[in-house]
Amino acid sequence: MTPDAAKLGDNTAVNDADLVVHDAVVVTVDENNRIYQNGTVVVEDGVLTDVRTTRDGDRTCDADRVIDGEGTLVMPGLVNAHTHLELTPLIGAFSDLDLMEMTSGMTAIFGHIAEGEYDYLTDAGYDLAALNFLTGGVTTVNSMDVRPSGGAETFGEAGLRGFFGTALSDLFWDIPTDEQFARAREFIDEYHDTYDGRIRATINPHDDWSCTRELWERTAALAAEHPDLLVHTHLLELEASNTMARSNGAEDSLDLLDDVGLLDDRLVAAHFRLADDEDIQRTAEADASVAHCPSIFCYWNTDGDVQWTPVPELRAAGVDVGLGIDDHYWHDSYSMFGEARQARLAANLKRSTGQYSSMELVRMLTIEGAEALGIGDEIGSLEPGKRADVILLDVDKPKFTPLTNIPAQVTNNAAPADVETVIVDGNVLMEDGDVKTMDADAVRDRVETAVDRFEAETDWDLGLGESDPPSTLDVTRDVPKRGPAQLLGRLAFQSVRDRFSF
């Protein structure tokens, strides 16, 4: 906090404020992790101007809006540090498929989206994602999608904060690389730093297992043109990651990114499951960040013998690690609170108990997620001088009684349904469960219409009891051919080379 901000906090009169919340339990997530049993939060011009113990005058002040926080817990808005949003209407569709059915079905659908089809489904998906994340206390998302303009507009108009970018890959689908980069540039020009700065563009090479060296080099050139943009990718997610890096003429994935000039403080790497000690040290030295998404791999674990993401070691090395929900429609949950709980359970099961303290997980949900996205000086904690991204949870419930060990209650017990009020940039987006910036009924109608149309146009059967995907033959016929064939061929060839090298 700057000296000016500190002075502002000391001298602000609540009577002149735009918004005051008083008599709440306030979890600041500041550097001292202060918690006020009866706290007040003051907001003016979208900025937090005071966070402190409640005084008598707070309850009767003449601020523009006064919220009695008794029975509520006030904390920073949650940060979803890695996600995908376009297929949100298909929640429940993949849940009971086997891994191959899910992967092939998803790849086929994304191939159609890349070709410009299913806009009605993806637009409805952005609406549904924005509505559910808003009502669940998620005020910031970092999303990688095929055609992200709908997401930027929907989240921007809903008053939320978001990072969006166009996924780039020359071995995942068959869209010409020139066309992909043209779309990415167009998106950056149109949407970066829009909606009062709440919407920002990112550069998104999809991953280190479906991109050639040539694509990484073009990505680096695009990043050099836009030095203020994050580079968001999937990194060290699969065994194929380092194999593809060797096929691309590097020793491993981090070596490849270093070669092309992308291993730096702008890098946000999702997953990082296979990182070893050297990878952790190099990432820390580069000041790159990681988004940990535990639920997706608990649900779709490709290999039970693979190590769990070394988050404690990353954090100990000084790497900013946020939590992400990834493809929420693959595991049927919008809950970022649940993601924190899953991070603890999975790590404790894979290793031993005590991998995280509850406060560490609260920080990963908020300030560390913000820092991973390069905006920790703007949001992520409740401190004077920061933007007012604030959520209020109703803790006047039997499930929170007695209200002890609040960080543990947040990470083990809280759920999206407990969020009653959401504030972003000082604007109240939801109050007492009433969403102000979206028409919830209209969103639901649009999604149901889109899913009905999707079923009519495809061989998917999304019934009440189960999801029935198209036949294997139909899916195989639908999957992109040229790119994936090259991908599999390169991996196979490199695997043979690795086997016979000395």
Q: What angle do CA 227, 233, 234 make, to 5 degrees?
A: 160
CA distance 419 to 336: 12
For residue 154, the surrounding DSSP H or E stretch is helix 149-157
Which of the four pLDDT bands, split at 50, 70 and 90, describes residue 463?
confident
CB contact at 8 A, 330 and 283: no
Residue 497: predicted pLDDT? 74
Right CATH number for 78-372 from 3.40.30.10, 3.20.20.140, 3.40.980.10, 3.40.50.720? 3.20.20.140
- Ranges 36-40, 177-181, 476-480: which has the least confidence: 476-480
Q: Would you put residue 333 in left (φ > 0), alpha (ψ -120 to 50) or beta?
A: beta
Give me the pLDDT at residue 100, please: 83
Mean pLDDT of the chain: 92
- Confidence class for position 485, pLDDT limits 50, 70, 90: low
Please provide residue 353's backbone torsions phi and psi, each rounded to the nearest 5 degrees: -65, 155
Residue 464 has pLDDT above 70, yes or no: yes
pLDDT at 7: 39
Confidence (pLDDT) at 11: 40
Please state which of the ranges 375-389, 461-475, 477-491 shows the lowest mean pLDDT: 477-491
Average pLDDT over residues 394-400: 98
DSSP assignments along 402-431, one per residue: S--SHHHHHHHT--GGGEEEEEETTEEEEE
Q: For residue 502, what pLDDT band results from cuts at 50, 70 and 90?
A: very low
| Residue-wise pLDDT tens digits, 312-355 | 999 999 999 999 999 999 999 999 999 999 999 999 999 999 99
End-to-end CA separation in angstroms for the chain: 55
**Per-domain boundaries in the chain:** 3-76+384-435, 78-372
On whether the CB atoms of residues 245 and 256 are closer than 8 A, the answer is yes
DSSP 172: S
b/e 100-132 (16+ beta carbons within 10 angstroms → b): ebbbbbbbbbbbbbbeeebebbbbbbbbbbbbb
The per-residue pLDDT for 252 is 95
What's the pLDDT at 2?
40
Condensed to tens digits (0 to 9), the pLDDT of residues 120-168 reads 999 999 999 999 999 999 999 999 999 999 999 999 999 999 999 999 9
- Cα–Cα distance between 453 and 120 in angstroms, integer? 9
Does 3-76+384-435 carry CATH code 2.30.40.10?
yes
Domain 3-76+384-435 matches domain 78-372 at the CATH topology level? no
Taking 70 as the threshold, does the pLDDT of residue 175 lie above it? Answer: yes
Could you tell me the pTM of the whole model?
0.94
Reported confidence tier of residue 5, pLDDT bands at 50, 70, 90: very low
Per-residue pLDDT, 483: 57
What is the token pair recorded at 224? 């050099």
Give CA 122 to chain center in angstroms. Answer: 17
Of 78-82, 86-90, 397-401, 488-492, the range with the lowest mean pLDDT is 488-492
